[in-house]
């Protein structure tokens, strides 16, 4: 157990629907990062939150949004889902700021859009 908890582990939904992925960071970590991993595009950074504030944005679609709550858990909302959104979505947390700290990853949510 890495200490980063992601739910649900698997999600199957239809095109056009909306889903919410949840992440609880490791105790003491203030930063949360979301990544999308698909077969054809590798590991893509989506967005980062630090202590409730958005810190950095990557290749996140406008149909996707995220937030970090006062208890530091984070949610990634995916709407108007398309077949191409099927992927593994990882959450990671980190001690910030600092260069010497890596991320601790959750085990991911596998999203299948049918």
Partner 1 sequence: GNSVTQMEGPVTLSEEAFLTINCTYTATGYPSLFWYVQYPGEGLQLLLKATKADDKGSNKGFEATYRKETTSFHLEKGSVQVSDSAVYFCALRSAGFQKLVFGTGTRLLVSP
Q: Is residue 96 near partner 1 by the rule CB under 8 A?
A: yes
**3 state SS for 11-72:** EEECCCCCEEEEEECCCCCCEEEEEEEECCCEEEEEEEEECCEEEEECCCCCCEEEEECCCC
Write the interaction track for partner 1 spanning residues 51-80; mark x where CB under 8 A is met and - where it is not: ----xx-x----------------------
Distance CA 9, CA 110 (A): 6
Q: Is residue 107 near partner 1 by the rule CB under 8 A?
A: yes
**Of 21, 90, 111, 113, which lies in the binding site for partner 1, with binding defined by CB under 8 A?**
90
Binding site for partner 1 (CB under 8 A): 2, 4, 31, 33, 42-43, 45, 48, 50, 55-56, 58, 90, 92, 96-97, 99-108
């Amino acid at each position: 157990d890495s200490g980063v908890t992601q739910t649900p582990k698997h999600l199957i939904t239809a095109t056009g629907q909306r889903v919410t992925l949840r992440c609880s960071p490791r105790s003491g970590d203030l930063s949360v990062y979301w990544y999308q991993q698909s077969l054809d595009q590798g590991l893509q950074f989506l967005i980062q939150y630090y202590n409730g504030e958005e810190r950095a944005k990557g290749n996140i679609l406008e149909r996707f949004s995220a937030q970090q709550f006062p208890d530091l858990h984070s949610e990634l909302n995916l709407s108007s889902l398309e077949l191409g959104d099927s992927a593994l979505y990882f959450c990671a947390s980190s001690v910030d700021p600092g260069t010497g700290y890596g991320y601790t990853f959750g085990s991911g949510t596998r999203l299948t859009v049918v």
